[in-house]
Amino acid sequence: MGWLQAAPLALILLAFLIAPIVMIVIVSFWGATEFSIFPAFQFDNYEFLFSSPVTYRVFGATLKYAFITWALTLAIGFTTAYFLAFHVRSLTMQIALFLVCTIPFWTSNIIRMISWIPFLGRNGIANQTLISWGVIDEPLEWLLYSDFSVILAFVHLYTLFMVVPIFNTMMRIDKSLLEAARDNGASGFQTLVHVIIPLTKPGIMIGTIFVFTLVMGDFITVRFMSGSQRANVGRLISNDIGLMQYPSAAATAVVLLCTVLIVIAILLRFVNIRKEL
Amino acid sequence: MERRSRSFYILAAFFTLFVLFLYGPIVTIGILSFQSPQGGLTFPMNGFSLHWFRDLFQEQAVGDIWGAFRRSFALGLMVMVTTVIVSVMAGLAFRKRFWGSGLLFYAAITSLVIPSILISLGVGLIFNQLGFKIHWATSGFGAQLTWTLPFGLLIMFAVFNRFDKSFEEAARDQGATAWQTIRYVVLPIIAPSLIGVALFGFTLSYDEFARTLLTAGSYNTLPLEIFGMTTNVTTPVIYALGTLTTAFSFAIIAAFLLGVWIVGKRRARHGSDAGKGV
Amino acid sequence: MANKVKEDLGFTLEMTALDSDSVTQRAATQPDSFDIADIEYWICKKVWPTGNLQAMDTSKIANYDKIVGIFRNGKLTPESVIAQGTAPHTVGFVDGPGGTSFASEETGWMTLIPTIYNADTLGIRPDLIGRPIESWTELLNPEFKGKASILDISSIGIMDMAMVCEAMGEIQYGDKGNMTKEEIDKTIGIFTEAKRNGQFRAFWKTFDESVNLMASGEVVIQSMWSPAITAVKSRGIPCVYQPLKEGYRSWGGGIGLSSSLSGMELDAAYEYINWYLSGWVGGYLMRQGYYSAVPETSKDFMSENEWGYWFEGKEATDIITSPTGDTLAQAGETRDGGSFYDRMGAVACWNAVMDENQYMVRKWNEFIAA
């Protein structure tokens, strides 16, 4: 009975998850000409990948984006969820405000991303406003096509993935625990550090997993928001795909997958997803 | 009523800023979509008009927005139905341990965390090498399921974690078969959550880009069309599209909330206690 | 355009919008996903060997004899010198219907039917630069630090880079369209240094990005395509497609037939091609600033003023508008770069795909990531 019920899921994952991964691993050993790929068993793709200093720099940059985005989304996501869960009093209001946060998520990611460009540009709203207020004399160049704009877009797109799981775990914290802490003379800050944060850890972990994997796998945000001036691993892969260098794309993809899976495996040691939902 | 503490106001201000941050770009494109016919994709505004919305309903020089919309909608429905059915079945299966359950669970997690471009690349490669034609309804459909199913499964875990097994035991004690128990007891109780799974499945699919990129074939889905438009269109028509899709999403959420409200009302009237267990 | 096809030929055209990388990808890997593909000549060199396209019988092409020399023997006029790079005629013919290697002269079997071509150069914002620009070297002039851009399509971008490096006198190329590894290293080296010094505001990959960069004033000098200039101008923003003394980088596109076509579908494809060359499309393209492969037939679909302005390089006698009705030039203005023969005669290099393409692509990726 159990197997029968799980079979559809297993089959779909086998066909569209496991098989593609296997295929990518196989193709990563293949060779390529300018217009076709041919079966082979060679380490050329990996050799080139590991011998190029660009690879390390790009993986470094990708991890940097992931880390900074994680830290910012965690700070913002936690604060937002904390406000919603503990400071908003009625359930209706909580749900309403929560929906307000989630609605932008239903618009096309690409449109939400490119709409930052007119905002941040040299003659964009941000610069014009700052100039008219007399804060700056010259437009700020680093607002757009920089690491700043890339991270801004990431935070904008992915904070929600932090808010939702943290809010979810916070809502399940028994309010009497907080009262008990207060009755025992704990300050608000002490309650936060010693009661709320430990109890919210599963939500934080789930949010972390989402944000980390989304940023690691991204390949268009960096391109659009940096004006192609910066690169991350996803862009290396998509550039290769665009030029039909599938084997070298596959090799990069395999390394990326290993990186992501190792980090996720470490994170999963801290949380039992199945129990915490 | 207790007086609000100072931290409340600080946090409320923070929350307001966060909401502004979330909505800023949407408002920006909302404004820009009302550019005059001569206006560009960026500020300054060249006056106001509804030109680009009208333009959206006329034939485009390149691409086929409404065809893409229809395809995305159809694909979204296909993915939605499949996601609901498959994740409910899997959710039921996972209530007991079975051979390979751990492995399947980790496969689902992998499916969730794997960089999307790998799925796109891998599925595309397989179809090419096997000589199959990639099409949004086959390869694209499968690739999207790897994204929606883990979400569906996780929601089902959340549902069954809170599920009171005594209802089921009661049904079984009354002599109901396994199928009858599921059909008449379990499904009605989890029905509201299924709407959630469905909504999730639909919107994740409707907005999915990376996994469909190399698996959609000749006919673009809406996100791919939008991506294509960013490469071919230099007019605010793309913002008009953005504004309309946002409005469409609002409409779907509103319809969903209305549905939940109506169901709730009706249940209250009939005095059924189904669903209260959730 | 699909409407006009339906009107004239009675069949429905379904178009899919793609950038040049994606077109290459589809043409090379998915012959079933298209019947006819509109691709560029240098891409043809890459795609032809995959066998996904079929050669066309020139005797079935009504206006074949009127196609300009560039696409037949390579010469615009009998005394023209053939430019570097993948000149269209070098990949325009194969030996027979099933030929896999390119023929060196006209054989009667064409790989692509030329449809559209132009000479590319740098686009500038004269209002923000305020002085004459004459050479490709200006792209790396520190004066424009943080206000320059180049396109991020490796095969074309490297050519623009080469034009700049050669103009600077840094590198003498044997053939800019087929560089050696050393030439590639040196070219990319010069640009990587410029990038690290903050010369570039952004790189663009798509047409629309280049328009926005220019229109918003983010960039004042960049590699650009002709319709992008038109798009900027039609918003009332001054923008010049600046002719440069070192010459143009040119490209040509053509229609290729999928190898999966046969019978009725093949006849329909020929019908479509003949219609394409019969003038209406040519006129439409020429009013956007491109050139038609058979200019003669397009003349009937353009006014005398338009023909004079776009093709002959004469002063406009009246307002020039784009096909969609935006004003592009006032009476008395002339086209940037002059007449057809001035522009296409000053081509320094054709878009190309190099023997060292894979190496170049890797170096290009490093440049972007640097």
What are the pLDDT digits (tens) for C137-186?
A: 999 999 999 999 998 888 889 999 999 999 999 999 988 888 999 999 99
* Cβ contact B118–A256 (<8 Å): yes
CATH number of the domain where residue B164 is located: 1.10.3720.10
Tokens standing for residue C1: 């355009």
Mutate to test the interface with A, among B1, B10, B15, B84 (most CBs of A within 10 A): B15
How do residues A4-45 score in pLDDT, each as one tens digit?
888 999 999 999 999 999 999 999 999 887 667 788 888 888
pLDDT tens, N- to C-terminus, chain A (277 residues): 677 888 999 999 999 999 999 999 999 999 887 667 788 888 888 998 898 888 898 999 999 999 999 999 999 999 999 999 988 888 888 888 888 888 777 777 888 887 888 788 887 788 888 998 988 888 888 888 889 999 999 999 999 899 989 998 898 888 888 888 888 888 878 888 888 898 899 899 989 999 999 999 998 899 888 888 888 899 889 888 877 788 989 999 999 999 999 999 998 887 777 776 6
Let me know if residue B2 belongs to a domain: no
Q: What b-and-e string marks burial along A93-120, b requiring 16 or more CB atoms within 10 Å of the CB?
A: ebeeebeebebbbbbbbbbbbbbbbbbb
- The whole domain housing B110 covers 64-232
Interface test with C, best of A49, A141, A145 (most C CBs within 10 A): A145
In a domain, A69, yes or no: yes
Element (H, E) at C53: strand C53-54
With bands split at pLDDT 50, 70 and 90, how would you rate the model's confidence at C48?
Answer: confident
pLDDT tens digit string along B54-99? 877 776 555 577 888 889 999 999 999 999 999 999 998 988 888 8
Residues C84-130 pLDDT 10s: 888 888 888 988 887 778 888 888 899 888 888 888 899 999 999 98
Q: Would you list the domain boundaries of chain C?
A: 119-248+347-369
Q: Enumerate helices (H) and strands (E) in chain A, giving the number of each.
A: 16, 2
Cα A158 from chain centroid?
A: 6
CB A216 within 8 A of CB A233: yes
With H, G, I as helix, E, B as strand and everything else as coil, classify residue B162.
Answer: coil
Structural domain harbouring A205: 21-276
Q: What's the pTM?
A: 0.84
Residues B87-127: tens digit of each pLDDT: 999 998 988 888 888 899 999 999 999 999 999 999 988 98
Q: Domain spanning C119-248+347-369 has what CATH number?
A: 3.40.190.10
Kindly state the tokens that stand for B172: 């079984």
Does residue B250 belong to any structural domain of this protein? no
Residue B277 has pLDDT above 50, yes or no: no
State which of B219-228, B231-240, B247-256 shows the largest mean pLDDT. Answer: B219-228
Q: Is A195 part of any domain?
A: yes
Determine the Cα–Cα distance for residues B45 and C235; give it in Å rounded to an integer.
11
pLDDT-above-90 percentage for chain C: 24
Measured between beta carbons, the chain A residues lying within 8 angstroms of B149 are: 9, 12-13
- List phi, psi (to 5°) of C177: -85, -5
Residue A166 in contact with partner chain C when CB distance is under 8 A: no
Question: For B233, which of C3, C208, C326 is closest by C-beta distance?
Answer: C208
Report the alpha-carbon distance of residue C237 to residue B53 in Å, rounded. 24
CB pairs under 8 A between B and C: 72
Is residue B195 in some structural domain? yes
Residue B260 has a pLDDT of 73
pLDDT over 60 (residue C32):
no
What is the spatial distance between Cα C217 and Cα C215, in angstroms, rounded to a whole number? 5
What's the CATH number where A80 sits?
A: 1.10.3720.10
Residues of A with Cβ-Cβ distance to B69 under 8 angstroms: none
Report the number of distinct structural domains present in chain B. Answer: 1
Is the Cβ pair C326, B234 closer than 8 Å?
no
Q: What is the pLDDT of residue B278?
A: 39
Q: How confident is the model at residue C30 (pLDDT cuts 50, 70, 90)?
A: low
* Three-class DSSP category at C177: coil
Separation of first and last alpha carbons in chain A: 24
Hey, which residues does C57 pair with through a beta bridge?
C109
